[in-house]
Amino acid sequence: MSEIDIRHIGTAGRITLNRPDALNALTAGMSVAIEDALNRWASDPAIKLVVIDATGDKAFCAGGDIADLYAQGTAGQFGFGQDFWRQEYRMNAQVAGYGKPIVTLLQGFTMGGGVGVGCHASDRIVCENSQIAMPECSIGLVPDVGGSHLLGRAPGHLGEYLGLTAARMGPGDAIHAGFADHYVPRDRWADMINTLQRTGDVAAVHQVTDTAPPSQMAKDAVEIDTLFAHDALGSIVVACGAAEGAVAEAATKALSRNAPLAMACALRLIRAARTGTGLTEALRHEFRYTFRAQQQGDFLEGIRAAIIDRDRNPAWRHSTAAEVTKAQIDAMLAPLGDDALML
């Protein structure tokens, strides 16, 4: 069985991620296949729109297949990961700037690399069990695949909160934060897809859209903004630790668990994206970090602790946020010269 199913049905190009046992984690081959299909369909007059979905109930795509990145990285083959991210980011930009509507259906977990496939599309659909997150700081990476762009444009300082803590968004939260557009109950999806394939008109989405559940993060906006408006990561950590309430308590636990260097760099990237020129610039800035992440960051250690040994006890390069210096952040995010990402 193929890990991705690409076909043409009616007026729609169809892409289905097909690794349900792996929560549809994105491999290098799947990313290339998506890019190639979108390139073919861009000039095909028979294709009016694209629908991207996934097999199974548990996940649209729970992230990139990081086991391969770990195996290659620990063997000193850093170019494998660098090439993977370079191509993946190119595909992310392609989805965002596509000349035809792209409808993505985000059931279950959509995280990390899944956000890059699903959350830059023109029409992003969530349902009852949707859970969207950018958990990269928990494995020593930064919110990438254009995630810093989305986080930078979230209301208030919600982007900092989501990026640093890896908090999960339910369907209402995802729409509030700008990671999704439409709430459509799952039992309406099959008929909606059939209509899209028959008509090639994204109005079929609007006809079945329902009212999303309320966003808890919108209710917590004042508290989130107060805690995450501070200039430096260390100040955010102190503020969360000194505050009372469920948001501060959960944030304090996450900030103490995630990689300090990654969080400090993520904070800068999210704020740069807030005032930046757009997705392309954000991807280029993210690539500066991911290019160096295996050798100079905590990425390999983060994967080891999370999915290889599963001891959940990573030995980060820094014990606390206060230990991360501006010079270290500058070094991870410095321009790459000839190795810079070209889009």
* 3-class secondary structure per residue, 263-280: HHHHHHHHHHHHHCCCHH
Instruction: Tell me what pLDDT residue 67 has.
Output: 86
225-243 pLDDT, tens per residue?
999 999 999 999 999 999 9
Under 8 Å between Cβ of 176 and 217: yes
Residues in the chain: 343
Instruction: Tell me what pLDDT residue 313 has.
Output: 95
Q: Which amino acid is at 309?
A: D
Task: Give the C-alpha distances (Å, rounded to integers) separating 319 from 218, 301, 316.
Answer: 32, 14, 6
What percentage of the chain exceeds 90 in pLDDT?
A: 98
Q: Is the pLDDT of residue 117 over 80?
A: yes
| Residue 308 CA from chain centroid, whole number | 22
Supply the Cα-derived Rg of the chain in whole angstroms: 19
Report, as an integer, the average pLDDT of 304-309: 94
Report, as an integer, the average pLDDT of 26-40: 97
Instruction: Tell me what pLDDT residue 249 has.
Output: 97
176-185 pLDDT, tens per residue?
999 999 999 9
Q: Is the pLDDT of residue 66 over 90?
A: no
Angle at 302 between CA 149 and CA 111, to 5 degrees: 40
Q: Is the pLDDT of residue 257 over 80?
A: yes
Report, as an integer, the average pLDDT of 80-98: 97
Specify the DSSP class assigned to residue 74. Answer: H
Domains within the chain, CATH numbers bracketed: 4-339 (3.90.226.10)
- DSSP per position, 318-341: -SSGGG--HHHHHHHTS--GGG--
* 3-class secondary structure per residue, 182-238: EECCHHHHHHHHHHHHHHCCCHHHHHHCECCCCCHHHHCHHHHHHHHCCCCHHHHHH
Q: Is the pLDDT of residue 1 over 70?
A: no
Instruction: Tell me what pLDDT residue 160 has.
Output: 98
Report, as an integer, the average pLDDT of 113-125: 98
200-223 pLDDT, tens per residue?
999 999 999 999 999 999 999 999
